[in-house]
Amino acid sequence: MPQLKNPLEVYKLLPQTNCGQCHVPTCLAFSAAVIKGDKKLSDCPYLERGSTKNNDQKVDTRESFDQKREEHLKTLKSKIPSIDFTSSAQRLGANLADEKLVIKCLGKDFLVEQDGTISSICHTHAGLTIPLLSYVIQCKGGDISGQWVHLRELKNGAPMSPLFGQRCEKPLKQLADKHTDLFEDLISMFSGEKSNNDFASDMSVVLYPLPKVPIQICYWKPEDDLDSELNIFFDSTAENHLSIESIYALGAGLVMMFGKIAHKHS
């Protein structure tokens, strides 16, 4: 069996019953914990004991993941010098200043140098740096459509959709449940815009983490016996500008950043 490199590969081995006997709420959350190194496959009571030992040895733990992320970042940086910034600025919806690309992310200027170095008055981290460099490399240009779709409706989005819901939409919903002013903060802190709200949600905001990859966050408050709900939508052209893996990474990085900010403010 090849190495298990991400939560979805682990999830396929599980009974997918969400029994909770591993002391984790769902099988998908358990899969993520296995990749992080917090759990072992042998902690699942429904897997055959003879197979889990070998499978545990084939799991790429978080340490390996961090190493691979650094290698991925180096690979992206190595491709930037071959890109002509002058001809690429319009394609990216960016500006050129002192031979650097100036790209607006959430209303803030991020400068990309010809060697792949990124600088900003904001804190930069891999969760944003990797999607930003991927955008510089992958973006095909062209206009956005203005048509909002869920990740699963994008061409290659369906396989990533369950993990996206668990790692992005669910924690952001929990933030919205707890922090009633979250959407006002997103508007004021990250140049968000109140949307036309095609989905009839109670609250919605459009953000531009990248010039041609906008997202719309819609939140429905709990009502009667119905739980609250939150969905993240993308422009239907999103995959013209980022691969589905980079779109997922962008969403996960944003949710992590929003969570840290909310925790700090509280």
> Which CATH number belongs to the domain containing residue 230 in this structure?
3.30.310
Residues 251 and 166 in one domain: yes
1 domain-assigned = no
Question: Domain ends where: 138, 171, 187?
Answer: 138
Give me the torsion for CA of 206, 251, 151, 85, rounded to 10°. 80
115 domain-assigned = yes
Residues 153 and 239 in one domain: yes
Number of domains composing the chain? 3
pTM (two decimals): 0.76
Provide the residue range defining the domain that includes 80: 65-138
2 domain-assigned = no
Q: What is the pLDDT of residue 148?
A: 96
Inter-residue contact 242 to 229 (CB < 8 Å): no
pLDDT tens across the length of the chain (266 residues): 467 777 888 888 888 888 888 888 888 888 888 887 778 888 888 887 655 556 666 676 655 667 778 888 999 999 999 999 999 999 999 999 999 999 999 999 999 999 999 998 876 676 788 999 999 999 999 999 999 999 999 999 998 899 899 889 999 999 999 887 888 888 888 899 988 777 889 999 999 999 999 999 999 999 888 999 999 999 999 999 999 999 998 998 889 888 887 777 66
Residues 39 and 78 in one domain: no
197 domain-assigned = yes
122 domain-assigned = yes
Q: What is the pLDDT of residue 185?
A: 85
Tokens of 223: 């009502």
Residues 158 and 222 in one domain: yes
